[in-house]
């Protein structure tokens, strides 16, 4: 867990995770489950490049916080507030108790900005960046990330994403977390 994360007497943090029934069946049978990158590409198809870009950034930084097991190709997402872990058809929401030393916590709103390929920063930093890219004739940050014509602007966007790991945590309802695998021992129940 990073320095910006909580500390308390407990060794675990309550989180909620929604995964397909198949994943939970694997966790139940094998005791653990790891995500394969191919699942992400298959799931998101045409927009997979966005997730590949964001997840690549996350993986590169997250391994500096918690080493990644060889079997894990991508993190598994979860939330502190169960209202954000909404199960779809064929999925279940699980109540988990995650060991603090296995969990990376961050602001889910910042992560959503990264998934939208946005610049992350203070209001002033964002306004300055917006002026910079508009001077160059770019309409929105997604256009920067979709093309290879703006490598310096794309680099600035990606560098701004460090806020995900360096900014203090907000109130608990906005906590999102990531782990490299799901363990059966962490499952408290189904909700």
Domain residue extents for the chain: 12-188
Q: Give which of 188, 114, 124 is closest to 158, Cα–Cα.
A: 114
Q: Give which of 10, 185, 4 is closest to 100, Cα–Cα.
A: 10
Tell me the mean pLDDT in the region 10-32: 94
Grouping H, G, I as helix, E, B as strand and the rest as coil, residue 72 is coil
Choose the weakest-confidence range: 8-12, 62-66, 102-106, 175-179: 8-12
Rounded distance, CA 42 to CA 39, Å? 5
Judge contact between 190 and 92, C-beta under 8 A: yes
Q: Give which of 3, 33, 171 is closest to 96, Cα–Cα.
A: 33
Judge contact between 18 and 93, C-beta under 8 A: yes
46-84: pLDDT as tens digits: 777 888 899 999 999 999 999 999 999 889 999 999 999
Instruction: Label residue 89 exposed, middle or buried (CB < 10 Å: 0-12, 13-18, 19+).
Output: exposed
pLDDT at 96: 98
pLDDT at 10: 82
Instruction: Label residue 99 exposed, middle or buried (CB < 10 Å: 0-12, 13-18, 19+).
Output: middle
Above 70 in pLDDT, residue 41?
no
Report the percentage of the chain scoring pLDDT > 70: 90
pLDDT at 61: 96
The pLDDT confidence band at residue 164, using thresholds 50, 70 and 90, is very high
Phi, psi of 89 (to 5 degrees): -60, 135
pLDDT at 50: 86
65: number of CA atoms within 13 Å, CB side? 26
CA distance to 132, 133, 144, per residue, from 152 (Å): 11, 10, 9
Report the mean per-residue pLDDT for the chain.
Answer: 91
DSSP 182: E
Q: Which two tokens stand for residue 180?
A: 């490299």
Tell me the mean pLDDT in the region 137-153: 92
Q: What angle do CA 107, 39, 84 make, to 5 degrees?
A: 30
82-133: pLDDT as tens digits: 999 999 999 999 999 999 999 999 999 999 999 999 999 999 999 999 999 9
């Amino acid at each position: 867990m990073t320095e910006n994360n909580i500390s308390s007497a407990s060794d675990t943090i309550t989180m909620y995770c929604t995964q397909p029934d198949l994943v939970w069946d694997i966790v139940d049978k094998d005791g653990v489950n790891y995500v394969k990158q191919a699942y992400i590409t298959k799931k998101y198809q045409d927009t997979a490049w966005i997730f590949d870009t964001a997840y690549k950034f996350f993986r590169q930084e997250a391994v500096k916080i918690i080493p990644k097991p060889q079997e894990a190709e991508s993190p598994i997402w979860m939330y502190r507030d169960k209202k954000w872990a909404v199960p779809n058809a064929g999925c279940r929401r699980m109540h988990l108790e995650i060991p603090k030393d296995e969990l990376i916590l961050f602001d889910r709103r910042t992560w959503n900005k990264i998934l939208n390929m946005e610049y992350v920063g203070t209001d002033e930093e964002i306004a300055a960046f917006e002026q910079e890219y508009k001077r160059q004739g770019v309409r929105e940050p997604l256009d920067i990330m979709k093309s290879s014509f703006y490598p310096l602007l794309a680099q600035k966007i990606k560098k701004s994403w460090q806020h995900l790991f360096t900014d203090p945590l907000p109130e608990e309802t906005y906590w999102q977390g990531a782990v490299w695998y799901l363990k059966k021992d962490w499952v408290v129940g189904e909700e």
